Amino acid sequence: MATRHGAVGDGGAPGDSGLGELGYKQELDRSLGKFASFAAGVSYISILTGTFQLFYFGFGTAGPAYLWSWPMVFVGQMAVALCFMELAAKYPVAGSVYNWAKLLGSRIVGWSSGWLMLTASIVTLSAVVLALQLNLPRLWSGFQIVGDGSGEYDFATNAVILGTVMIAFTTAVNAFGVKLMALINSSGVFVELIAAVLIAIILAANITRGPEVFFSTHGYGAGESGGYLTVFLVASLASGYVMYGFDTASSLGEETVDPRRTAPKAILRAILASFVIGGAILVFAVMSAPDLEDPLIGSSEGGLQYIVEQVMWGPLGKVFLVCIVVAVTVCSLAVHAAAIRLTFAMARDNALPFGERLAHVNPKHQTPVVPAIVIGVLAAFILVINIGQPQIFTVLTSIAIIMIYLAYLMVTGPLLKKRLQGHWPPKELAESGYFTMGRWGLPVNIFAVLWGVGMALNLAWPRPEVYGTPWYNTWGAFVYIGIILGLGLLWYAVKGRNHIGCLASHAASSKDEAESELP
């Protein structure tokens, strides 16, 4: 049943995809180019979705100075991204985080990271599609299908309906094939990038105050035991919740042309573009807001959308809201696509229940159709929780981000160990002209691990203002992650550990492995 997996640091010829070395045969449609790979990472991070969905939380918690968390998070996540770029230059494979953790650490480390990443991705898909409720009814009241928005459950129920429609769309597109997904995603990202740049420019042209606004606490944190630092750490979650998912470019590596060169560059460009353009929008929004004392700016009913509508003239604000809806759409597509590749990667290792079915690649569309449907159904089901228990849903979406940070740690941690042992990076990366950090690798890797630990603790810290009450919600990061990981490890201990190994139907033959070594 099982086949060999190449050891970390094994050689490989320039131009190969690395699949044969890992013991897998090529099954997915290798057709994605450089822009499609870049677009996958950008759309997962989604400049417009994340900034517009979470600005109100950061601003409402710590005021304008919360924006200092944006470069702080960028520096930390950039360290993680650089580690991932090195790994993508060697192993650009579906379900990258899972496979990297497995190769660098151990089978149980890999499985745990994959399980956390998979469950988090499904919840993240549910959370992203809820952003439609923040934008569509603003465009046209007809999108408020349930009531008029004033009823107790109007907002939440309508959000679930709009979100379910979006999930049905992403399921259909992803099931049809990677070419259609890439076409829609790339087109959407093109629109999103242009819109984001124009929003930043127009906001900048309407500034009413100078940068000194970011150098004052404006009274936030007064009365707190830790002063402004207390509220700043809470507000930093708004930035931490946005800048992740850049690994998607590598997770689509089995469908990318020349992935060992393309994926690392796509990861770098995705996080840089998101930081620069997203940061410009946030900074100029604060500087151009007509009245920073307006309570709607720090409310989910107002937020960044509210500032844009105030600053933009005529119908222009509505046009940009349409662009935000486009951004939410391609973000949903990318999150769904990444979850499908992770499911496929784990299933072909028989690391999930019903592995053979989940790993089946449709011969016509050359894509795993069953995972697309299963993930769509699960994400839609999770959405229903939002109707009657929105606080629990908020907790679930928050811990999903923490689980992704933990999954990243299960890569950067073992990678640091390999580096200290002298087993990383492989010499062939530098010799063949692939990306490598060289002498900077060790300090960057150390910082990436320390950052991951610190950010995970900050995200998980039991705060009623984030997680609410009662105690099991306040401590939700520990309670719910413990339950999710515990249930997964129970399956692993009872059944999984005895059956994990590449399914024979997906294993590379000696001919496949020989071909993968060819330049």
What ranges do the domains of the chain cover?
A: 38-502
- 367: which strand partners? 362
Dihedral Cα 26, 31, 33, 38, nearest 10 deg: -70
The pTM of this model reads 0.93
Residue 176 and residue 449: Cα distance in Å, rounded? Answer: 38
**Cα→Cα distances 484→82, 400, 507, Å:** 29, 11, 30
Q: How many CB atoms lie within 10 A of CB 211?
A: 11
Residue 89 and residue 83: Cα distance in Å, rounded? Answer: 10
> Using CA of residue 441, residue 446, residue 452, residue 458, what is the dihedral sign?
negative
Dihedral Cα 351, 352, 353, 358, nearest 10 deg: -110
Residue 431 and residue 427: Cα distance in Å, rounded? Answer: 6
- 270: closest CA among 39, 33, 85? 39
Written as tens digits, the pLDDT of the chain (519 aa) is 344 344 454 444 444 567 888 899 999 999 999 999 999 999 999 989 989 989 999 999 999 999 999 999 999 999 999 999 999 999 999 999 999 999 999 999 999 999 999 999 999 999 999 889 988 998 899 999 998 877 877 888 999 999 999 999 999 999 999 999 999 999 999 999 999 999 999 999 999 999 999 999 999 999 888 999 999 999 999 999 999 999 999 999 999 999 999 999 999 999 999 999 999 999 999 999 999 999 999 998 899 989 998 998 778 888 988 999 999 999 999 999 999 999 999 999 999 999 999 999 999 999 999 999 999 999 999 998 878 777 777 788 889 999 999 999 999 999 999 999 999 999 999 999 999 999 999 999 999 999 999 999 999 999 998 898 899 999 999 999 999 999 999 999 998 888 899 999 999 875 554 444 443
> Using CA of residue 136, residue 142, residue 144, residue 149, what is the dihedral sign?
positive
SS3 507: strand
| CATH code that applies to domain 38-502 | 1.20.1740.10
251: enclosing H helix or E strand? helix 248-251
Residue 173 and residue 167: Cα distance in Å, rounded? Answer: 10
